Amino acid sequence: MTKPLAVITGASSGIGEATAKAFSNAGYPTLLLARRLELMESFNLKNSICKKIDVRDRDSLVSAIREAEEKYGPTDMLFNNAGVARLADISTQDPKEWDEMIDVNTKGVMNGMYAVMSNMKARQSGTIVNMSSIAGRKIYEDHTVYCGTKYFVHAISESIRGYLSPHNVRVIVMSPGNIEAEVLNGITDPNTLEAYKKNIERIGGRISPDYVAKMILFAYEMPQNVIMQEVVVTPTKQDF
| Distances from the Cα of 211 to the Cα of 4, 19, 76, 175, 177, angstroms | 22, 9, 21, 13, 12
Rounded to an integer, what is the distance from CA 148 to the centroid of its chain? 16
Q: In this structure, which amino acid lies at residue 93? A: Q
Exposed (0-12), middle (13-18) or buried (19+): which is 28, by Cβ within 10 Å? buried
**Catalytic residue selected from 72, 114, 140, 146:** 146
The nearest distance, CB 118 to ligand NDP, in angstroms, is 22
Q: How many CB atoms lie within 10 A of CB 217?
A: 17
Please identify, using beta-carbon distances, which residue of 29 and 176 lies nearer to ligand NDP: 176
Nearest of 55, 171, 151 to residue 107 by alpha carbon: 55
Please identify, using beta-carbon distances, which residue of 75 and 178 lies nearer to ligand NDP: 178
Contact residues for ligand NDP (CB under 6 A)? 9-16, 34-36, 53-56, 81-85, 104, 131, 133, 176, 178-179, 181-183
Please identify, using beta-carbon distances, which residue of 42 and 124 lies nearer to ligand NDP: 42
SS3 48: strand
The nearest distance, CB 77 to ligand NDP, in angstroms, is 16
Please identify, using beta-carbon distances, which residue of 51 and 170 lies nearer to ligand NDP: 51
The nearest distance, CB 193 to ligand NDP, in angstroms, is 14
E strand or H helix at 231, and its extent? Answer: strand 230-233
The nearest distance, CB 23 to ligand NDP, in angstroms, is 15
Question: In this structure, are residues 187 and 86 in contact, taking their beta carbons and an 8 Å threshold?
Answer: yes
Is 146 assigned a catalytic role? yes
Instruction: Give the catalytic positions in this structure.
Output: 146
